[in-house]
Structure 1
Amino acid sequence: MAKNLQQATLGGGCFWCLESALNALTGIESAYCGYAGGHVENPSYEQTCQGDTGHAEVVRVNFDADEISYEELLEIFFALHDPTQLNRQGNDVGPQYRSVIFYHNDNQKQQALALIESLEQQQIWPEKIVTEVTEVNNYYQAEDYHQDYFANNPQNTYCNMVVAPKLAKFRKKFADRLKASQH
């Protein structure tokens, strides 16, 4: 049976956490760490971390829309980070850590804006959502060592202190959406 493959590009803090979580979901074909939205061609991690390339750390997601809808993907994205923090997620500070949805077509743009409006009306967070919704541009896949970083570097201090607790909470909340290999 043919798959209904679509693409999404999302930024919500450090890409290691988003990539690990999204790759665990049913319907996700792949999720890769990358950089998007900046003005420097093919930036390095070091350049992006300096915060002056304009890029955000993002995850490029290839998904089967018949298994997980774009809206479901966005709902999970919003549960994985705090969309009210401007240019930061916890101790990760700078524009490269901004909350951003890079849409690939007008339908994605409309769905993202509608979901943000709905979440604002629900007042899930005490502060206003600051997530940017902008057309995808200047996307570059991150260096190979960033792909599957959490799985390949479980001893890393940042992974132990930040990524692991966030993923444990994610797995508990979305247990029914995880691939069989992730249980």
Structure 2
Amino acid sequence: MKTYVLAGGCFWCLDAVYRRLRGVTDVESGYTGGGYPDPDYYTVCNGTTGHAEAVKVTFDETEIPAEVILDVFFATHDPTTLNRQGYDVGTQYRSAMFYTDEEQRQEFVDGIERAQALWHAPIVTEVSRASTWYSAEDVHQDFYSRQPGSGYCQVIINPKLAKARKYYSQWLAA
């Protein structure tokens, strides 16, 4: 098993996409990358903690290649906008990848280089050493499956899921 910590705007979006991929064994929404101890949703949303909303994605490389996990990341958010994704603005919504060792850092750099060919503007995704991980509150875990009719899910997450289905259908779980 391998685990990546990725931030691409609101964690509900990445959570929804990764939970639908074959070979992904766990997805956890949380906060990382800042210095504020024991953050919660409200302190992170105010933009002063330094933390990003992120997901911890654990997957089986015998079922889904690491490159696909990273390619899906770059396809389902805009890595060319600094500190924002759509209507979500602030450092807590930055595009970021948090590595645990030099091998993982290189995988992330390679993923950025591969993805750059798909984007006209430069990718601004931050690549940083992993710091303390704080699990998000239960209400944020698998939010899409529990609230599919909410406005945010309909307007923001559904188009990302459609994009994942369009380009990565061979990796979707049955």
Give TM-score scaled by structure 2 length: 0.96
| Structure 1 contact 14–92 (Cα < 8 Å) conserved | yes
Structure 1 residue runs without a partner (length 5+): none
Is structure 2 residue 99 aligned with structure 1 residue 130? no
Which residue in 2 is equivalent to 1:82? Answer: 78
The residue correspondences of 1:95-134 to structure 2 (distance < 5 A) are: 95-120=91-116, 122=117, 124-134=118-128
Question: Structure 1 stretches (4+) deviating beyond 2 angstroms?
Answer: 117-120
Of residues 152, 159, 169 in structure 1, which corresponds to 2:163?
Answer: 169
Structure 2 distance, partners of 1:159, 1:82, is: 17
Structure 2 distance, partners of 1:169, 1:72, is: 14
| Structure 2 contact 2–60 (Cα < 8 Å) conserved | yes
Q: Would you say how many aligned residue pairs link Structure 1 and Structure 2? A: 174
User: Structure 1 32/154 Cα, relative in aligned 2: closer, same or farther at 3 Å?
Assistant: same
Structure 2 residue runs without a partner (length 5+): none
Which residue in 2 is equivalent to 1:159? Answer: 153
Structure 1 distance, partners of 2:56, 2:125, is: 17
Which residue in 2 is equivalent to 1:142? Answer: 136
| Structure 1 contact 8–102 (Cα < 8 Å) conserved | yes
Alpha-carbon shift at residue 171 of structure 1 (Å): 1.7
Q: For 1:122-173, what per-residue CA distance to the aligned partner results, in whole angstroms no more than 9, with x for missing partners? A: 2x21211000111110211100000110110122111111111221221222
Structure 1 distance, partners of 2:20, 2:86, is: 23
| Structure 2 contact 9–88 (Cα < 8 Å) conserved | yes
| Structure 1 contact 7–104 (Cα < 8 Å) conserved | no
Q: What is the letter of the counterpart of residue 143 of structure 2?
A: Y
Structure 1 distance, partners of 2:163, 2:26, is: 21
Cα root mean square deviation, aligned:
1.1
Which residue in 1 is equivalent to 2:36? Answer: 40
Structure 2 distance, partners of 1:155, 1:68, is: 29
Structure 1 distance, partners of 2:159, 2:92, is: 22
| Structure 2 contact 71–115 (Cα < 8 Å) conserved | no
Structure 1 distance, partners of 2:92, 2:154, is: 21
| Structure 2 contact 74–115 (Cα < 8 Å) conserved | no
The residue correspondences of 1:22-61 to structure 2 (distance < 5 A) are: 22-61=18-57
Q: For 1:59-100, what per-residue CA distance to the aligned partner results, in whole angstroms no more than 9, with x for missing partners? A: 001111222222221111101111000000111110010000
Alpha-carbon shift at residue 114 of structure 1 (Å): 2.0
